[in-house]
Structures are given as structure tokens and as C-alpha cells.
Amino acid sequence: MVTDDLVVAVRPSGRRTRITTRFVTQHTRRRRHTPATWLRGGGLSALVFALPAIFVFGWFSWLPIVKSVVMSFQKTNLIVTTWVGLANFHRVLADPLLPIAIRNTLWFALLALVFGFPVPLVAAVLMSEVRRWKGLYSVLAYLPVVIPPVVAVLLWKFFYTPGPRGVFNQLLGSVHLGPVLWLQDKAIVMPALVLEATWAAAGGTIIIYLAALTSVPAELYDAAEVDGASVWGKVWHVTMPHLRGVLFVTFILQILATAQVFNEPYLFTGGGPSNRTLTVLLLIYNYAFGTSLGGRYGEATALSVMLAVVLAILSVLYFRLTRRWSTS
Amino acid sequence: MRSSRTTALGMAGALAIGLLAACSSTGSPTSPTTPADAGPTTPAAAAPVTITVAGNLPGASQENNDQLDARVKEFEAKYPNITIQPEEYQWLATTFTAQLAGGTLPTVFEIPVTDGKTLIENKQLANIDAQVKANLSYYNDFNPAIVGYGQDSSGTFFAVPAKNFYANALHINRNLFKQAGLDPDKPPTTWDEVRQDAKIIHDKTGVYGFGQMGNGATGGWQIAVDVDSRGGALEKANADGTYTATLTDPAVKASLQWLASLAADGSIDPDTSLDWSGINAAFASGQFAMFTSGSDVYNAMVQTNNMTADWGYGLTAVPTENGGAALGGGTLAAVKANATDAEKDAAVKWIDFWYLSKLRDKDQAVADAKVAVAAKQPVGTPVLPIFSKSQYEQSLVWIKDYINVPLENMKGYTDVMFSQPVGGEPKMATQAVYQLLSPVFQAVLTDKTANIDKLLADANVQAQDAIDHPAAS
């Protein structure tokens, strides 16, 4: 419902009486909505202006999504196509690699949440407290985000070289430790991937937190100090409540991103060793492009559809559960 | 106000129409301008035609690119109406299907022999029978053991043997052999000797003695090399035309146990993420002393990994036992399914000029070798004959003054290359079976407690499923 106040606010130079009259007139017209009124009201202009965006979005985003859903019910090598009903879904669900991929994805997500979620928060809080060189720290924190992901992974792959010649192993060797098989040891490979992923992504989250932290009124910290609050008390009782909304958003974004982790396992290990880093998205990729003679596109899209549905349900549940907390 | 609004509306509309037009003009990538299996027609002899062709590997040196450019100029001088546009090209299982489906392959592209039959059945290659018979007077001279990979059941040409046919061989770093006190002129001839030498090299130099591909399908491919050399097989053909997965074959287990013994020795590179190009780079950088791959990968290491003739490279035969063979392979040159007749004609002329004429014609052989030597590219790397053994040897005589690869370091292979049996790859779901073996290889290399029997039994069930349910229909 539009109010007079809002109209005045939008047109501060207008005359109050005249504006109110116009509002009433528009309200009456809206009730008698016809193509002619839509045309006169600028509907066509809006549509023409929106058309390029609608076209681009529809062509490059929605059409592939629709085609993927359709393909999940087909067996195709992109030349010969047959309808197979739910067979692709049945084959994917019966694939012994699926539970392995789900388990690995959950393991990556858990590690990324345990290590990757608090690190940017702590870094942002510390950086917000720094008085000098704040810009430099921000640049250093954001620098990994600027590096293309493939380049970053190749760089870290060099660091992770097994044997005593690897960069990290040379560092460990200087204190008589290692060498560690960073990407070959089944127990270490996933934390190694999470370490790189955290390094690569933390900068963006830090910037978001830093921006949110600037919105915390300084008077609250002053009041907390007057009340005798410790540093931890100020963080817990002043900073965190103000960051809560941002934290909820970054948390769900983190879950969505980790559920779709692909770059690290694909580029570091190809899913190995022995499927220990095979994630759901990498499994989808392998279905589609793992062999040279007509990939299992139907199964790839079937698993994609299932993943999208699960993530959508997860997102809805998350926002419903946290709606009350995040708006308080 | 009204004027600017009208202009803006017009611009927005023009943009929308432009976008539509841009997309519609692209057309369907798979819609042929001329049906692929349409009968041959005579192309206009002098009509200008431009084709894209598979060029050098990504990351090729400037010299390598100069060599290609020089040959393109010679070709265009010979055929003024044809324009050649080389594109970087490397066949990868993971990208080929997408390129094929997306229509982004060059007009002339390369495929492994194992993919030929299926691509023909799927109508994904152009019918070049008329062009082959019109331009390649020697089409009856192809090695009968390999020409069939590019033909359908009636003998119609859809692809021709090109570039190279090879058997897998053992590549060695002679300098590391010397540093370890081993004689590189007496390379290992049994798998036990390979293990012993690998351990000695690792113990004496600290460098891994052996390395093996383990990424994606390449891991399984190299297990197939190991298995073939031990007289085993990954698949068995049944009398009724079906195939049975035989990953539980004793030779498969023996191969994996041998790899596990190297892992126990600490003499095998534990990096299981190496693929074909990755292992070339790792070997060229001195990461390990021995690995198995096609006999021709020296070319790739010179072209993309800065290897030189005095690097210390050596080549010897893959050890064989129990009636085993060296796994073979090769490359076919094919043409895009939607190529026009004129493009197909130009494509076959290019295939003749770039891949084959240097094997058939002395002048072309010398011209090609001259350009290659001038560009510091390898000449004379041992491969299997695309035509006949005598033809191959004749071609080497023509270019003997230009051979610049260290043949004296390759005698372990060249002495037996025509007497050693050459084995074939699994025929059904080849890439899928290879992919299933890679995790088994990785497990053996990284887990001392890996249960090889169970791993192979599980993989065998999945391999049979892949054989019974081929992805491409």
C-alpha cells in the first residue's frame, strides 16, 4: 500500500495537494486495468527496456536449466536421443560411487565450515581493530580472490608436491618433519584441499564482514567499555549481534558453495586417491565428460537435478528456521 | 524528452533484435550444410575454401609453431584456393565429446583408433570415401591391421590412419641410470629388473625410479599396458558377440601387486594425478627415471617440455612375459560431420600433405624433414608403420641425413619393435573400463592395506555394467 508520505518523499519538490490527487487517480486507474492503460502507463517501454535482459537471462540461464531437466529423462549422446523415463535417476541412485561422492562432499563441507567459516570472521574482527595499515591488510586478504582459481590451484599443487622437493615439505624438512604426501595420503588430502579453498575464498568473506563491521555504532563499544565489558564481551555482545544477519547469509552461501565444490578436487586430484576426493559435482562431470564417446549426459543431468532440489529444500528450510533470529 | 525516450526505445529494441539475430545466425552446431553421408560430388576445383585443422599441442614451442606455419605456406602455395587455419589441438577424453557435440572441433581433427568405430556408427564423422579415393592414390596400401579402425563395415572411409601408430614402450632417464651406477645401454628387460633398477635409482639418487599415470582414464590405460605385457586382458569376447569384463584376470592382479611392491620400496612416484601430458612434464623435469607410454612421446616432450637430444633420453621395449604384448595405439585423422564436399576435399588434401605424403614421397619426406630440423623439431622418432614395414624403412632412408633424435639411445626399442607382438585395447566401453581401474591403481599406490582382490572384484562388476550399458547409443 502506497502512502502519501512515501509519495512526498519520492518527489520532495512537488506540491502536496496535487500529488495526493494524482495518487488517487492512479489508484482508480489501476482497478480498470486494460492493455490500453498498460500501454499508456509506460508498460511497453518497460518491456522493451527489459527485453535484452530477459532474453539474455532466459537464453543463457533458464533455457539450459529447462533443457537439463528434460535431458534427465533421456538417454542421449547429443546426436541420438531416446526417452528413458526415470531410468537415469535409478542408475544414479544405484551407482556405488554416489554414496562415496556424497560422503566426500559432506566431509569437505564440514571441514570448510569448521575451518573456513570462522577464519574470515576472526580475521575481519582483528583487522577492524587495527589502526594502521588497514588498507594493506585488506589488500593482502583479498589478493587470493583476484588470482584466477585455476592458477591458484596450480600454484598450491606446486606447494603440495610430494617428496622432499615440495615447497611445504621443504619447510617441514627444515624442522625435521615430513615429507607429507599432501595429495596422496587418504587422510590428509581433503584437509589439504580445504586449506587451499579457505585461502582462496576467505578474502571475499572478510571484505563482507569488514563492511558489516563499519555499520556497528562506535557509541555501543564506548557504552560497553563504560559498563566494564572485556574485549571478548564487546565482540560477543556488540559485534556479533550486528553481524548476525550477514553471518546467516554467508553461512548458507558457504553451504551452497561447498556442496558444489569442483575446482579443487578436479584440478588437484581428479577425485583421487582412490575416490577420496570424488565430490558430487565431480561425479556429475565424470558422467558427462569422463569418456570420449558420448558421455552419460542423462545421468549427469539427473544427478544435477537431484542436487539442485536438495539444495533448494535446504535453503528454504534454513531461511525458515533462521528467519526469526536473523531479523531480530 | 519524448525524442530521447523514442531513441532509447529504439536502441533497446535494436539491441534485442541484434541479440536474437546473433544467436539465430549461429545456427545449430550439428546441423550439416551438406549431409554427412550424402554421396560424393565433385567439388569445384578452384572454388576458394577455408578449413581449420588440428595443429600443435597446447603449449607448443615457437619453433614447433614455425614448422607448422612453414608447411601451411607450402600447402597453400600448392593449392592456392585452399586456406588452412591451424588450431591448437590435443585429444582429451574429457573435452572431446563436448567439442564434438558443440561443433567446435576443427574441420580436420585427430582421434584415437579405439574411438573410430563408435564415432562412425554415431554418424559423428564425415564420409570421406570419395575424397580419399580421389586424392590418396595409395589408399589400398594402408597397413591392413589398422586401416579398418577408420572404416565402416562396408569398407567406406570415414577416417584414415595418420600421424603415428605406436606400441607402448619404456622411457628412461639415462642420466639417472648413470648416477645410480646402472648402465643405460643395458636397460631392464623384465618387470623384476625394472623394479630392481627403480629401487637402486631411488636409493642412490633420492629420485623416484618409476612413475605411472593415474588420472582419469589414463590410469586404466597404463594398467592395460601392464596387463597386456603379462599376457592378460581386461575383456574377453564371447562367441555370441557379447563381451565379459575380466578385471579379475591374474595378470591384472599381478600388475597391481608389482606396483604395490614398488610403493613398498618407496621407488615409485606417489603422485597419482599425472595424466598423459602431466607425466611427460614430470619425466622431463627429472621427477622420476622410468615410465611407460607410447613410443612416440619423445616428440611431445621436445615440442612442449623443452627436451633436447642431449637431455639423456632413452627408449626401450616394455618387458613382456607369459606371451604378453606391448599395447598398441594410434591416431586417425577425421573430418567434421557437417563439412561440405569442398571442405572434405581440402581436408583430405591436407591430411595427405601434413600426415602421409612424407611417408610416401621422397620429395615431401625431405621437405618436411628440412622444415622440422630448421625448427629444431624431432625427426625420426620410432613409430609403427602406417603402411608397410618396407615403406616405413624406405621413408627413414630418405630422411636419414635429417634424423636428429638420439636413435642410439633407443636401440632397446628399435631392435625389437618389429618382432615384439603388439596388443589391442579393450574393445567395449574402453574409456569407462580404464576409468574404473584408475582408483584401484591409486588405492594400491597410497594404501599399504589395500585389498587388491576386493578392489578388482568391485571394479569388475562396474566394468561389466559399463559394457552392458554403453553410454552412447
Q: What is the ipTM of this complex?
A: 0.72
Asked whether the predicted pLDDT for residue A290 surpasses 80, the reply is no
User: Are residues B271 and B420 located together in one domain of the fold?
Assistant: yes
Q: Which of B114, B124, B110 is nearest to B162 (CA)?
A: B110
Chain A: give the shortest CA distance to residue B473, in Å.
7
Q: Which residue of B has its CA nearest to A182?
A: B271
Chain A: give the shortest CA distance to residue B362, in Å.
36
Q: Is residue B345 part of a domain?
A: yes
- Are the Cβ atoms of B118 and A59 closer than 8 angstroms? no
Place of cell 528434460: A70
Q: What is the pLDDT of residue B214?
A: 93
User: Are residues B173 and B120 located together in one domain of the fold?
Assistant: no
User: Are residues B322 and B240 located together in one domain of the fold?
Assistant: yes
| Residue-wise DSSP of A184-224 | TSTTTHHHHHHHHHHHHHHHHHHHHHHHHHTTS-HHHHHHH
CA B279 to chain centre: 14
| Domain count within chain B | 2
Chain A residues whose CB is inside 8 A of the B115 CB are 292-293
- Are the Cβ atoms of B101 and A78 closer than 8 angstroms? yes
Q: What is the pLDDT of residue B10?
A: 52
Chain B: give the shortest CA distance to residue A184, in Å.
6
Q: What is the pLDDT of residue A232?
A: 84
Interface list for B 451-470 with A (CB within 8 A) = 458, 462, 469
The contacts of residue B60 (CB under 8 Å, 6+ apart) are B88, B303, B304
Peptide bond into A273 cis (omega under 30): yes
Model confidence at A79, in pLDDT bands (50, 70, 90)?
confident
H-state helical runs in B27-149: 62-78, 93-102, 113-121, 129-135, 144-147
- Are the Cβ atoms of B438 and A296 closer than 8 angstroms? no
Whether the Cβ atoms of residue B407 and residue B313 lie closer than 8 Å to each other: no
Over residues A194-208, mean pLDDT: 90
Interface list for A 99-158 with B (CB within 8 A) = none
Chain A: give the shortest CA distance to residue B255, in Å.
17
Model confidence at A276, in pLDDT bands (50, 70, 90)?
very high
User: In chain A, which residues fall in CATH 1.10.3720.10?
Assistant: 89-327
User: Are residues B289 and B420 located together in one domain of the fold?
Assistant: yes
Q: What is the mean pLDDT of chain A?
A: 84
Could you count the other beta carbons within 10 Å of the beta carbon of residue A320? 9
pTM value surpassing 0.80: no
| Residue-wise DSSP of B268-287 | B---TT--HHHHHHHHHTTS
Main-chain phi, psi angles of A225, to 5 degrees: -65, -40
Using CB atoms within 10 Å of the CB of residue A9, give its burial: 0 to 12 exposed, 13 to 18 middle, 19+ buried: exposed
Chain B residues whose CB is inside 8 A of the A173 CB are none
The residue type of A238 is V
| A205–B contact, CB cutoff 8 A | no
Main-chain phi, psi angles of B461, to 5 degrees: -60, -45
Whether the Cβ atoms of residue B253 and residue B471 lie closer than 8 Å to each other: no
Q: Is residue B409 part of a domain?
A: no
The residue type of A1 is M
Whether the Cβ atoms of residue B157 and residue B287 lie closer than 8 Å to each other: no
* Exposure string for A296-310, b = 16+ CB within 10 A, e = fewer: bbbbbbbbbbbbeee
| B7–A contact, CB cutoff 8 A | no
Chain B residues whose CB is inside 8 A of the A76 CB are 473
Domain limit, last residue, from B398, B429, B448 = B398
- Are the Cβ atoms of B122 and A80 closer than 8 angstroms? yes
Q: What is the pLDDT of residue A228?
A: 87
| A20–B contact, CB cutoff 8 A | no
CATH among 2.20.25.190, 1.10.3720.10, 3.40.50.1820, 3.40.30.110 for A89-327: 1.10.3720.10
| A184–B contact, CB cutoff 8 A | yes
Asked whether the predicted pLDDT for residue A30 surpasses 80, the reply is no
User: Are residues B323 and B338 located together in one domain of the fold?
Assistant: no
The residue type of B327 is L
Q: How far apart are CA A295 and CA A75, in angstroms?
A: 10
Q: What is the pLDDT of residue B413?
A: 96
- Are the Cβ atoms of B471 and A296 closer than 8 angstroms? yes
Q: How far apart are CA B266 and CA B287, in angstroms?
A: 14
Q: How far apart are CA B111 and CA A266, in angstroms?
A: 24
| B288–A contact, CB cutoff 8 A | no
Q: Is the dihedral of CA B152, B156, B157, B158 positive or negative?
A: negative
Cα–Cα distance list, B329 to A60, B119, B305 (Å): 40, 17, 22
- Are the Cβ atoms of A291 and B471 closer than 8 angstroms? yes
Q: Which residue has the higher pLDDT, A289 or A328?
A: A289
User: Are residues B147 and B175 located together in one domain of the fold?
Assistant: no
User: Are residues B371 and B296 located together in one domain of the fold?
Assistant: no
| B432–A contact, CB cutoff 8 A | yes
Query: What domain range is B231 assigned to?
Result: 168-327+414-468
Q: What is the pLDDT of residue B87?
A: 93
Chain A residues whose CB is inside 8 A of the B111 CB are 292
The residue type of B366 is V
Nearest to B12 among A49, A80, A293 (CB): A49
Q: What is the pLDDT of residue B15?
A: 44
| B6–A contact, CB cutoff 8 A | no
Asked whether the predicted pLDDT for residue A8 surpasses 70, the reply is no
What secondary structure letter does DSSP report for A235? Answer: I
**Regions of chain B short of the pLDDT cut 50:** 1-3, 5, 7-9, 11-44, 472-473
User: Are residues B459 and B419 located together in one domain of the fold?
Assistant: yes
User: Are residues B159 and B174 located together in one domain of the fold?
Assistant: no
Cα first-last separation, chain A: 24
Nearest to A273 among B95, B217, B272 (CB): B272
CATH number, domain containing residue B434: 3.40.190.10
- Are the Cβ atoms of B272 and A289 closer than 8 angstroms? no
| A74–B contact, CB cutoff 8 A | no
Chain A to chain B Cβ contacts (< 8 Å):
143
Model confidence at A137, in pLDDT bands (50, 70, 90)?
confident
Q: Is residue B128 part of a domain?
A: yes
For residue range B207-264, what is the model confidence (pLDDT) as tens digits?
999 999 998 889 999 999 999 999 999 999 999 989 999 999 999 999 999 999 999 9
3-state DSSP call for residue B424?
coil
Chain B residues whose CB is inside 8 A of the A272 CB are 214-215, 272-273, 438-439, 442
Q: How far apart are CA A112 and CA A121, in angstroms?
A: 13
| B21–A contact, CB cutoff 8 A | no
Q: Which residue has the higher pLDDT, B301 or A23?
A: B301
C-alpha cell at A203: 578474502
Interface list for B 334-393 with A (CB within 8 A) = none
Pick among A81, A156, A292, A299 to test the B interface (most B CBs inside 10 A):
A292
